[in-house]
Structure 1
Amino acid sequence: MAYIMLAPVLVLLSIFVLWPAVQAVYLSFFDWSFYTSSQFVAWKNYANVLGDDRFWQAILRGLEFVLMTVPVSLVLSFLIASLAVSVSQKVSTLLKISIYIPSVISGVIASITFVMIYDYSGGILNALINIVGLPNQAWLGDPRWALGAIALPAVWLGLGISTLIMIAALLDVPQSFYEAAELEGASWWQRTRYITLPQIKNVLLFLLVTGFVGSIQQYELPLVMTAGGPQHATELPNLFIFNHFRQDTYVGYSIAAALLLFVVLGSISSIIFRIVNSEKLVD
């Protein structure tokens, strides 16, 4: 009976996940095109990707983007969650709703909104810095600022879900721990360092890994806001693969690049687990 109940899920998983994955691996060994017959090229596509400086630059740019977004998101989520669990029920509910609103906004709509905020001549951000005497900045047109300008809406969009997960983790910490610490005269920082953080380490690990994977695979924001420019300064890995797919008649290279990106993400995620010694995080 159990296998009968699992059969529909296994069939759907095979059709929409396993078979496409196998087919992608298969096609990555061919010069495959929609317009001409395919030709077996063995490891040529993988060699071309590994020898492409733009691919590695996109990977490094993605890691830089992760450093811009994930730590900031974790810190803000923790601070907001700490505030939410320490205030009254009404204020906490209002805070949760307010912080979650960006999560239901389309990434395309958010991109267009921030493009207007960053506008050189009429954007509100340049208007604000003009007040303190600073000149207008081409936030999306200058390679120095473009990636950071995209990181800001990325943090804003993902803050709601990570904060709610953090709130759930904080509510799961036994209050008796804090009461005992207060009796011993522990400060807020001491309670946070020795009680809160160790108790929610599983959740922190989860948010760290999912945040890393989500950030390095960011696609909508750079596509809509900058199309990967200026000078490829915001061309993250997924956008690099998409641009190559649009420009190349043969898609074997793009498939190979996507599979290599999968290997890179899996390897780095494994390293994260090993560094934080995740096998000891299981209660």
Structure 2
Amino acid sequence: MVSQAVHERRMIRQRQNRHRFRDDKIAYWFLLPVVGLLGIFVIWPAIYAGYLSFQNWSFYKDPEFVGWKNFTDVMSDPLFWAAVGRGFVFVAMTVPPMLVLAFLFASLVVSVGRKFASVLKVSIYIPTIISAVITSIIFVLIYDYSGGLLNWFLGFLGVDPIAWIGDPAWALLAIAVPAIWLGMGLTSLIMVAAMVDIPQEFYEAAAMEGANWWQKTAFITLPQMKNILLYLLITGFVAAIQQFELPLVMTNGGPLDSTMLPNLFIFNHFRNDINVGYSIAAALLMFVVLGTVSAVVFKFVNSERLVD
């Protein structure tokens, strides 16, 4: 009897292993096209870009190995580091306000009725589906010095017109506003999903203790959403510092390079400099900067999963 039971368990285990192998094989076949496309359009271009970053290369001549010269040229270029620093300023202008506004909007959505919440979610998501180029054109018309809607409104209040995208003191802020508007939709919906997932028993117990909205937010909502907030912080940082379309269309990096963000700086260098290796080296250094900052954020922000 014992040997028969052992034999039956062995047969069951073999059948399970056979089915598991078959399922793994099917999964690998499904992954093969994705891995192939990833290798063609991501992995191989990244490897080739790394190779060209060590070359003095252009579209008109063969590559010539120059070692670390492209990287040293980029690292000694004050304009590159000025663009990176300006990118961090742009992140500070956009990410914190966007997270705060998205959190307040998400709190409003989860506190109203279902029908009104659906209208709010659709309205906040509309900017996400609008092209950044179209948004740039719209805000250029809004910021127009002589006929723009914003200066008309300020004139109605007795304030003199302001050259929003023509004055270095205001240009970066003028670009930050549409960036916040574009990013709020998806950020708000992610926060809504996170808030809905929080057990209502926590809020009911807090209400029985006499907690108000601020106390519930500080001691329940924010701690329960810390992983979502960390994700939105990282993705918001990466998206903001890589912003390209808004400064390109609205100001082309001006006036006086006040809106020359890193990606626009690399793009302008790529289209104006015959040495493409410099631009590739600058792009790789930006990748290092983004990875380093993301790692630092993960290091100093506790992202362990909450346990009920």
Alpha-carbon deviations, 1:181-221, whole Å to 9, x = none?
A: 00000011000000000001111000000000000000000
* Structure 2 unaligned blocks of 5 or more: 1-24
Match of 1:116 among 135, 141, 144: 141
* TM-score, normalising length: structure 1: 0.98
Q: Distance in 2 between matches of 1:42 and 1:281?
A: 44
Would you say 1:15 and 2:56 are equivalent positions? no
Match of 2:185 among 151, 160, 163: 160
- TM-fit CA distance, 1:277: 2.4
The match for 2:162 is 137
The match for 1:91 is 116
After superposition, the CA RMSD in angstroms is 0.9
Q: Distance in 2 between matches of 1:3 and 1:94?
A: 42
> Does the 8 Å CA contact 2:125/2:185 hold for their aligned counterparts?
yes
AA in 2 matched with 1:28: S
Match of 2:280 among 238, 247, 255: 255
Alpha-carbon deviations, 1:121-149, whole Å to 9, x = none?
A: 00011111112221110000100000000
- TM-fit CA distance, 1:6: 2.2
The SS at the match of 2:58 is coil
Match of 1:101 among 126, 133, 138: 126
Q: Distance in 2 between matches of 1:37 and 1:282?
A: 55
Alpha-carbon deviations, 1:63-99, whole Å to 9, x = none?
A: 0000000001100110000000100111101100110
AA in 2 matched with 1:118: Y
The SS at the match of 2:260 is coil
> Does the 8 Å CA contact 2:224/2:306 hold for their aligned counterparts?
no
The match for 2:224 is 199
The match for 2:14 is none
The match for 1:42 is 67
AA in 1 matched with 2:84: I
Q: Distance in 2 between matches of 1:210 and 1:105?
A: 19
Q: Which structure has the larger Rg over C-alpha atoms?
A: 2
> Does the 8 Å CA contact 2:172/2:259 hold for their aligned counterparts?
yes
Match of 2:300 among 271, 275, 278: 275
- TM-fit CA distance, 1:3: 2.9
* Structure 1 unaligned blocks of 5 or more: none
Identity %: 62
